[in-house]
Amino acid sequence: MLLFQGLTQEAGIEEVLSEEKTLSVIDLIVNGGTGSILIITVLFVMLFVALYIYFERIFAIKAASQIDSNFMNQIRDHITNGKLEAAKLLCAQTDSPVARLTAKGVSRIGKPLDDINTAIENAGTLEVYKLEKNVSVLATVAGAAPMIGFLGTVIGMILAFHEMASSGGQAEMGLLASGIYTAMTTTVAGLVVGIIAYIGYNHLVNRTDKVIHKMEATAVEFLDLLNEPL
């Protein structure tokens, strides 16, 4: 009987300990107090903005990078045969930065080669601007989120030390918990948001560079086409 009671008490103690160790993310945020809730809400909004921009840009860049591998061969055939209108129509039917650069070059055929090159470069600058639209916001989030998290850390520690000062250095741990929660949760949240935004930014930059390289290669190929003897 005593053995059974002992086992029951041990099981009850283990159950209580397991319950005490379980802490949901929501409880962690709420226990941090008003400061923690406000800062983490700001970080959550920043995370939402970062994810929206990332996925919106990744789909836009993916669409911009897709082009028929036979596109330039068709342009070459049209220009060689003097079918400039057919070349313009093909460019108009192809929705991509490469096609728009080529269309700008085709529309300048007959003018000096330097003028054609300048027109293509200007069009390329506009296309790059479109590709990089709002990407800088990700860089801002990546830098600002950890700083906001650290701001929460400082605020939390100030609250904790304020409680200690108000109680003459003998504050109970329960009174310090709110400040400590604010310090820890905001730091973690800021770092998580910053890391996600940083990775997303670098991935977009890498994908954008590949499209820009393809645009530059197309421009060179088009200019070489114009330099070929008829």
Residue 8's identity, in one-letter code, is T
Q: How many domains does the chain have?
A: 1
Residue 16 clears pLDDT 50, i.e. is over it: no
| 16 falls within a domain | no
| 211 falls within a domain | yes
- Per-residue pLDDT, averaged over 2-14, amounts to 45
Q: Please, which pLDDT band fits residue 200 given cuts at 50, 70 and 90?
A: very high
Full domain range(s) for residue 97: 28-61+69-227
Name the DSSP letter for residue 109: B
Q: Please, which pLDDT band fits residue 154 given cuts at 50, 70 and 90?
A: confident
What global pTM score does this model have? 0.75
From CA 176, how far away is CA 157, in angstroms rounded?
A: 9
| 179 falls within a domain | yes
From CA 121, how far away is CA 101, in angstroms rounded?
A: 8
| 156 falls within a domain | yes
Q: Please, which pLDDT band fits residue 13 given cuts at 50, 70 and 90?
A: very low
Amino acid 31: pLDDT: 54
| 3 falls within a domain | no
| 19 falls within a domain | no
pLDDT in tens, 29-40: 555 556 667 888
Mean per-residue pLDDT over the chain, rounded? 77
List the structure tokens of 195: 């890391």
- Per-residue pLDDT, averaged over 145-156, amounts to 82
| 53 falls within a domain | yes
Amino acid 78: pLDDT: 81
Name the DSSP letter for residue 32: T
Of residues 159 and 90, which shows the higher confidence score? 90
Q: Apex CA 195: angle with CA 191 and CA 60, to 5°?
A: 140
| 1 falls within a domain | no
Name the DSSP letter for residue 46: H
pLDDT in tens, 59-72: 988 888 887 778 88
- Residue 67 backbone class (left: φ over 0; alpha: ψ -120 to 50; beta: rest): beta
CB atoms within 10 A of CB 136: 11
Q: Please, which pLDDT band fits residue 93 given cuts at 50, 70 and 90?
A: confident
Give the 3-state secondary structure of residue 133: coil
